[in-house]
Every structure is written in C-alpha cells, then in structure tokens.
Amino acid sequence: MMAKSQSDALVIFGVTGDLAHKMIFPALYAMAKRGALKVPVIGVAFPKWSLERLHKRVTDSIERAGGVDNKRALQLLLSQLKYVSGDYQDAKTFSAIKEALGNARRPAHYLAIPPSLFETVIRGLGAAKLAEHARVIVEKPFGRDLASAQELNKVAHTVFPEDSIFRIDHYLGKEAIMNILYFRFANSFLEPIWNRNYVASVQITLSEDFGVGKRGAFYDTAGCLRDVIQNHLFQVVALLAMEPPAGRDFGAVHNEKAKVFKAMRPLGLNDLVRGQYAGYRLEPDVAKRSDVETFCALQLFIDSWRWDGVPWYLRSGKFLPDTATEILVELKPPPQKLFADAGSVTGRSNYVRFRLSPNSAVALAARVKLAGKDFVGEQRELYLSEERPGEETPYERLLGDAMAGNGALFTREDAVEAAWAVVDPVLKDHHRVRPYKRHTWGPKEADTIIAADGGWHNPSSTA
C-alpha cells in the first residue's frame, strides 16, 4: 500500500534557497545522526552550482544551526547529495531529475519554492512521469485565498492522489503543539469543563520582537493574517476545540479538525484590527504606500454545540515587546461569591495556560486560602514544564513522517479550504492598517476587541 511504503529518495526543489539553508539541511543532518537518512537527496534549483558549492552551503547551514558535532553523519549526508540545475518550466530539467534518481521509484518531492511555482513543478512532475508511486510535500502558504487554494488543490489532484499530498506547516511539528492534543484527551479531569458552560473565553497570542527583515518582498504580498493566523493559529484553535477523535489514526483526527474549521463563523469587517509597525514601509522591497498588516487581532466564534457563544481571541504581530506564544483558556467564576475577598479579586482567577514558545509548559491557575481565620486567598499557578532534551525539530519530524507516508501532522484538502473560507470575506474588505510603535502590543484599537473579557494576556519570553 502507498500509505505504508517508505520513500526511497528525496527531491528538494529550491535547494539553494533560504528555507533549505535555515531549516531543511539541519533537519537532514539530524536525521543522518539518528541513522534515519538512508536515501539519496537530489537538490534542484536554477543556479548553475557545482556539487562542491552545494556541499559548502550544506556545511555552512549546519555550522550556523549549532555546529558539526558528528563528522560521520555530515559525510553521510554529503555523500547522499546530488544536484540538478535547470528551469522548472523546461522538460529537460525533469529528465535530469529522473536520471539522478536512478533506481529510485518512490521519491518524495519537496517544493521548498515560492507558491507561484507550485503549479509549474507539479505539472512538470506529472508530464515527466515522476509522480507515480511518489509523494509531494508542499510548503505553506497553500493558496492565498479560497479560490487559489481550490485551484491549487485541483491541479495537485490531477497529478497526485490526496493521500500522497503532504501540505506542510512546520508549526504542527512542534512538540508543544502535539502536547495540546495529548493533554486534552489523555486526562479525564479536563473534558467535563472544556465547553461553553465553563469556559468564558480563549485567547492565543503569537508575538515576535523583530520585523520582516529580508522577507519584505514576500511579506508585502501576504501579511500577518495569511502568514500566521489563517494557518498556524487556526491549527491551534482546531486542536483546542475539536471533539474526541473516533480513534488514534490520523484520519480520525483530521475529520474532527475539519469540522472545527467548517463551524467557524466567517469573519466580518469589524471582527479584526490590522496594524502596521512604524517604519515598515521603509523596509527593503516593501511598497511605499503598503496597507499590508504586520499585526492582526481578531475575535472568532465557533458555531458548534460545545463552543456556542464562547469568544476566541487571536493575535499575532511583528515588533511586539517579546517573542513568545501562549494560549489562555479562561474559566467562568463560581456561581456564588462565598468568601470575604470575592468582591476584591481583580484579574483572572481560574484558567488553563498553554505555553508553546520559547519553552513548552502547561499551567493551571487557582486561588488558595492564606493562613489565618479569615477566608482570604491568593492566586497560585501549578506549572508543569514540558521541555525534553533531544527533541526532534519540527522539520526533522515532518520530513521523516512525509517520507514514511504518515499524514498525521499535515493538513488535508477540506481543512485547508474551510480555513480559507473563514478569512476570505476580510482579505480584501477590511479597514486600513492602524500604525503602532515598535515594541508595543500593537494599535490601541486591538484592545477594544477583547475589552469585555478582561483584556489581553501578554506573554513574556521569561515567564
């Protein structure tokens, strides 16, 4: 069966690019150290590089990522490498790939290239008969709106069956993200309160203390809503909101996640606030009058039995005060105020907090009584750190899973399209961006979205 067979080669389109340098080469090196890289790796790109130059690029990548601590693994990786230079629109390029593959019959084709080239390469693979018994790994963003996602799915399906298409979102490969699913369904105490009767609101913040850097050309065509919220944060929402899957197989998990996306109420004009940090329009390759958002905050509702009426607040941005990602699930207060300090308690008393980065943790907040006769308490957090040395990096895990045919941590066609349907109404019909100063929590208008639920919880990289 295709789903059970291991890929016998890895073809990386865009091998000379930044993604390969920053993420893919270190992941392949880590796989080599574990003895998990046993197939040829064919790099494909337009520049006319020698194999020696590619070797230097790989070595530089690994040194920058933490250094070479296993020379044998590095040599193994380099010995597996081949390089094909060519134009993706030229059939000769795909003929050269076929020759480089040799006896390999089940390659995994990784498209680490700009989205505008996805269709060209997929059609090229089909025309060259390089898709039979193969898999294709597609980097995000998968489309830039609902119509383009549907068109790209249509093109992909003319060449590959759905179970051979792996839409990669590195966020799903993070240990902390997978822990959300495990924590929810491995512990019985959570399920009775995980619904509209006990949850007051849910908020998720992904903050970065840096700007767009050298990614201005890409970012100015995408923006925060497309680049982070529609994929990364929506995936987190799905894991938090989904019903228990019918089984442990990844198909059952995908079914429940897709139901969440389909139950999300499409966003309206006043459901979000878009911001742009001071100086963004002066960044390299950014339009001088750009209206692209570098910050986005929104209110979301899931029209399901479990979550009816519960607001979900999502926020992300660049040049915020810190780089951290947290989820705060605030619980409703007890129905009666029995104790002396009930009227004087300010802030949040009961909540579950998932910390996703820079370290992984789960915290449960509650009030406990202070010593003495009076029934007066203080706020405490039960904090469980989840860091584990030697964890696989997201790209290491996802590359290995895709080559093994394990689709658990990838996104399915219906889920991709349902998620785009939620944001589609506001991709063009929105208010103009609001300016905000660097290293603040975005424009003040974002506070009005969540004012009724106690304001934003601001994560810190040191908390």
User: Rounded distance, CA 350 to CA 329, Å?
Assistant: 9
User: Rounded distance, CA 342 to CA 375, Å?
Assistant: 10
Overall size of the chain counted in residues: 463
Note the Cα 58 to chain centre separation in Å: 25
Report which DSSP code applies to 333: P
Type of residue numbered 224: C
Taking alpha carbons only, the member of 237, 247, 165, 181 closest to residue 411 is: 165
Neighbours of 239 (CB within 10 A): 22
Is the CB of residue 274 less than 8 Å from the CB of residue 284? no
Taking alpha carbons only, the member of 317, 316, 318, 311 closest to residue 450 is: 311
The backbone torsions φ and ψ at residue 156, rounded to the nearest 5 degrees and listed phi first, read -60, -40
CA atoms within 13 A of residue 208's CA, in its CB half-sphere = 13
Neighbours of 57 (CB within 10 A): 16
Residues 6+ apart with CB under 8 A from 394: 170, 171, 172, 173, 174
Let me know if 232 is a catalytic residue.
yes
238 three-class SS: helix
User: Rounded distance, CA 255 to CA 261, Å?
Assistant: 10
Is the C-alpha dihedral spanning 147, 298, 407, 137 positive or negative?
positive
Q: Which of 21, 109, 170, 232 is flagged as catalytic? A: 232
Sheet harboring 135-139: ordered strands across?
A: 81-85, 41-45, 9-13, 107-111, 135-139, 165-168
Token pair, residue 122, equals 């997929």
Helices (H), ranges, 18-117:
18-19, 25-33, 51-65, 71-80, 91-101
User: Rounded distance, CA 190 to CA 203, Å?
Assistant: 18
User: Rounded distance, CA 154 to CA 82, Å?
Assistant: 31
Q: What secondary structure does DSSP assign to 426-444, as a single string?
A: HHHS-PPPEEE-TTSSS-T
Token pair, residue 157, equals 């399906």
Catalytic residues: 232
